[in-house]
Amino acid sequence: MQLQGRTAVVTGGTRGLGRAVAQALADAGAVVVAAARDVQDAQPDPVAGGGRIVQVKADVTVPQSVEDLMRTAHERYGGPHIVVANAGVSRPGPVSVLSGEDWDTVIGTNLTGVFHTVRAAVPFLQEAGPGRVITVSSLLGRRAMPGAAAYCASKAAVERFTEVCALELAPKDITVNCLSPGFIEEGQGRALMANEVLWPRLRDTLAAGRPGTGAEVARAAVFLASAESSYVNGAVLPVDGGVRW
């Protein structure tokens, strides 16, 4: 699956799962614009496979920031042809005490941020075509976990949003699919695994007997970004090794 000549934008591409996805897309030959609020290095970072990763500052909660991100990617590298709406946050807490601010942060980033990202990308994806959009939900988008109301709600909504976008954008030669990772040894998943009360119970639900790796999620992202997935549209692809829950 080769991505030479393709430009990808990965929101939240500087850390955790997003970083693993950015790396895999670059290894497949794409120029990857990894966007986040806190970027450390704007210099190109050459990688094996002919691709490279560049970091650009952007905040997905701010529409103008995401529009600037897409324009910057287009002017510097062409495209973008691939957009991975990965940036996400979590604010755990029971509904009875969850603050409105935490709720807004989660929904504003995980759901409205995905909307801003996709909307800003569409004109560029359509012009560069064929376009690929990959959103990122979670196992918790279809399974309820006490203490994760805002996160679960945001990820369930991302899945329906993805399916609507897939129908709307297919005539523009853009596919829109969603990755739904389970428990992954990367980013927020690492914090969960450090929870000595919760993690032993969750670990017992893993059919594979182990959590996934960032690279395993990233390989699925490369497939959805590639020409090989040309007739896959509106899919929610679990990458969770099988979970008994």
Q: Which residues are at the interface with ligand NAP (CB under 6 A)?
A: 11-12, 14-18, 36-38, 58-61, 86-89, 109, 113, 136, 138, 181, 183-184, 186-189
Q: How far is the CB of 229 from ligand NAP (least distance, A)?
A: 19
Q: How far is the CB of 101 from ligand NAP (least distance, A)?
A: 14
Q: Nearer to ligand NAP by C-beta: 109 or 233?
A: 109
Q: Which of 151, 152, 165, 221 is catalytic?
A: 151
- In the numeric block, which tokens belong to residue 166? 């897939």
Contact indicator for 79, 57 with CB cutoff of 8 Å? no
Q: Nearer to ligand NAP by C-beta: 4 or 195?
A: 195
Catalytic-residue membership of 151: yes
Q: Nearer to ligand NAP by C-beta: 10 or 169?
A: 10
Q: How far is the CB of 71 from ligand NAP (least distance, A)?
A: 16
Name the 3-class secondary structure at 178.
Answer: strand
Q: CB count, 10 Å around CB of 228?
A: 12
Contact indicator for 35, 55 with CB cutoff of 8 Å? yes
- Which runs of consecutive H residues, i.e. helices, occur in the chain? 16-27, 63-77, 100-107, 113-128, 149-169, 188-193, 198-203, 214-225
Q: How far is the CB of 175 from ligand NAP (least distance, A)?
A: 19
In angstroms, the Cα distances linking 192 to 9, 155, 201, 217 are 27, 17, 11, 17
Q: Nearer to ligand NAP by C-beta: 196 or 231?
A: 196
Distance, in Å, from the CA atom of 88 to the CA atom of 188, rounded to the nearest integer, reads 9
Distance, in Å, from the CA atom of 138 to the CA atom of 82, rounded to the nearest integer, reads 20
Mind telling me the catalytic residues? Answer: 151
